Amino acid sequence: MRRFTLTTLRDFGMGKSSIEAKIVEECDYLIKQFASFKGKPFDTTLLMNASVANVIVSILLGDRMDFEDPQFKRLLNLMNENVRLLGSKMVELYNAFPFLGVLPGNHKTIRKNVEEFCDFVTKTFMKYLKNLDENDQRSFIDAYLLRQKEEAGTSHSYFHNGNLTRLVRNLFSAGMETTSTTLRWGLLLMMKYPHIQEKVQEEIARVIGSAQPMYSLRLQMPYTNAVIHEIQRFADIVPLNVPHETTKDVMFRGYFIPKATYIIPLLSSVLRDKTQFEKAEEFYPNHFLDSKGNFLKKDAFMPFSAGRRVCAGENLARMELFIFFTSLLQKFTFHFPPGVSNMDLTLGPGFTNIPRQHDVCAMLRV
């Protein structure tokens, strides 16, 4: 499934200029939405989720969904609620002691939400199956259904409807949640540290001007690139990574780990490593700059995990973060709402490290 997913995502433009055009298109929609508030306070959560999600939706379904589409809003809300509930105490207990599943609690809400999302996916790919054209694959679902058709009658094929549902659900949630949350942290940190926001805007003005920010320009923008990397490091979006499992017996630092052991790689242990980052607990973009102001790569920077099971959407996420972040700071200066002089950086509840609910003021730049 992973090999098929990576190949198909590349076929539909991941890491190429064609997907960059989709990201730019979504940026335009998002900028118009931000501008519509005319500098008044608003919550960015749903708008940011919708805009980022639409990039992966355009690959999965072959078209974007309108921000005001009730079905789209419902899907986003289902995903947001699940991310929040996954960090609850009852779910932690249920994960440790599954026999507690008979009791009422958030774990049952999560299951109900997953069933509703899977029902939407099933109805969608059944509709696509009716109009499947082998010579015109318009989406990820089309490519999967075609492969399923080719392997019909093959024993033990992985290309069944259950796997398609799981793939689409995983790609939708992963393609939306982590990137949109990172961008929300980015805007919050720019409000909290206006001198950093100003330096980013100065570099944008010098290198890009009023032109459309493109991913290739990051090589000419070391400070902006360093700020984006530091946002990812500081926010530490997925501190526990996602669960892994050993495929064979392993000796690791003197410890024997048997095959099929449940493994949780703690990404925080590298992203907040004081031996690798001078001010590990602070937001400090100079972590990624050398003494001459050039961008500095760090081996300990691994928000996408590492190895063969590294995040499948890493290239897409990097492109999204740069284009969304620079496009927004090119058009707006972000401030706290009137009467707010500072913002709490403590975490909100959830499986990922999400910021607490907050409003922003996006002032159009002249």
Check: CB of residue 161 under 8 Å from CB of residue 122. Answer: yes
What confidence score (pLDDT) does residue 61 get?
84
pLDDT single digits (tens) 100-128: 888 889 999 999 999 998 898 888 877 77
**pLDDT classification of 12: cutoffs 50, 70, 90:** confident
Give the pLDDT band (50/70/90) at residue 221: very high
Query: Over the stretch 227-253, which tens digit does the pLDDT of each residue have?
Result: 999 999 999 999 988 888 999 999 999
| 309/247 Cα distance (integer angstroms) | 12
pLDDT at 308: 84
The domain spans of the chain are 2-364
Q: What is the pLDDT of residue 224?
A: 98
Written as one letter, the residue type at 242 is: V
Distances in whole angstroms, Cα of residue 162 to Cα of each of 74, 119, 309: 22, 11, 22
pLDDT of residue 352: 87
**Stretch 165-188: mean pLDDT, rounded?**
91
Please, which residues bridge with residue 363 across strands? 333
Q: pTM for the complete prediction?
A: 0.92
Strand partners, 244: 263
Instruction: State the pLDDT at residue 350.
Output: 80
Per-residue pLDDT reduced to its tens digit, 64-102? 888 888 988 998 999 889 988 988 888 888 988 989 888
Q: Is 98 helix (H, G, I), strand (E, B) or coil?
A: helix
Could you give the CA distance from residue 257 to residue 248 in angstroms, rounded to a whole number?
9
pLDDT band, very low/low/confident/very high, at 304 (cuts 50, 70, 90): very high
User: For a pLDDT cut of 90, what percent of the chain falls above it?
Assistant: 58
pLDDT for residue 16 is more than 80:
no
Residue 63: the pLDDT is: 84
Pairing of strands 255-257, 250-252: antiparallel
Mean pLDDT in residue range 160-182: 89
Which is more confident, 271 or 176? 271
The topology (CATH level 3) of 2-364 is Cytochrome p450 (1.10.630)
pLDDT given at position 348 = 79
Mean pLDDT of the chain: 91
Give the pLDDT of residue 342. Answer: 83
In this predicted structure, what is the pLDDT of residue 34? 97
Residue 322 burial (10 A CB sphere; 0-12, 13-18, 19+): buried
pLDDT at 283 over 90: yes
Q: How far from 52 is each of 46, 118, 224, 281, 292, CA to CA, in Å?
A: 10, 20, 20, 28, 34
Asked if residue 349 has pLDDT above 80, the reply is: no
Average pLDDT over residues 261-277: 93
Q: Would you report the helix, strand and coil content of the chain in percent, each value rounded to 5?
A: 55, 5, 35
**Chain segment 350-362, per-residue pLDDT in tens:** 888 999 889 999 9
